[in-house]
Amino acid sequence: MAWSSYLPLCFSLVFFFITLYINSLVQVWADRNSPFWLPALPDIGHKLLPYWTFYSINNYYLLTAFCLVIIRYIFQRDIRLIVFRRWLFLQAVMFIMRSISIFVTSLSVPLPGCNTTAVGSPPIEAFYIMSLVHATCGDVLFSGHTVTCKISFLRVNTR
């Protein structure tokens, strides 16, 4: 296989990481501008599961979805580059839409007692958020986990 066939995948990968960084940067800005002093909006999820404290289950669910997509397509030589390129491109577009939506809206934090760990300079904190070292509380309108899992599971079920 020629190296030129990997070029679109490389462009999608670079586009993905650029939009991931922009999304993380906007998360820090949204967290700094979110109205922590306002009471939380009603959230049916927090009422149904009031004592749930294992919040990183979302990240494990997301990692499982990623692994399923990779396992599903890694051995299919004829379409795997196309699938991974499209997958990364859709994720990048999702990050752009999420960045716009959380930048223009400011909602109160739905989880009482949520403490942000992103307290440094926003450009540096964006890298910490990308690597899941720090977390924010103010980016609540557009769920990145939900859309990412949906795109991943659509990839798994595609024939």
pLDDT tens figures, 68-111: 888 888 888 888 888 889 888 988 998 898 889 888 887 777 76
Per the document, the length of the chain is 159
Distance from C-alpha of 85 to C-alpha of 91, rounded to nearest angstrom: 10
Angle CA 29–117–121, to nearest 5: 50
| Position 123 pLDDT exceeds 80 | yes
Residue of 156, 1, 6, 155 lying closest to 86 (CA atoms)? 155
- Tell me the domain boundaries of the chain: 8-26+54-157
Confidence at 55, pLDDT banded by 50, 70, 90: low
| Position 158 pLDDT exceeds 90 | no
Residue 159: per-residue pLDDT: 59
Please tell me the pTM assigned to this model.
0.81
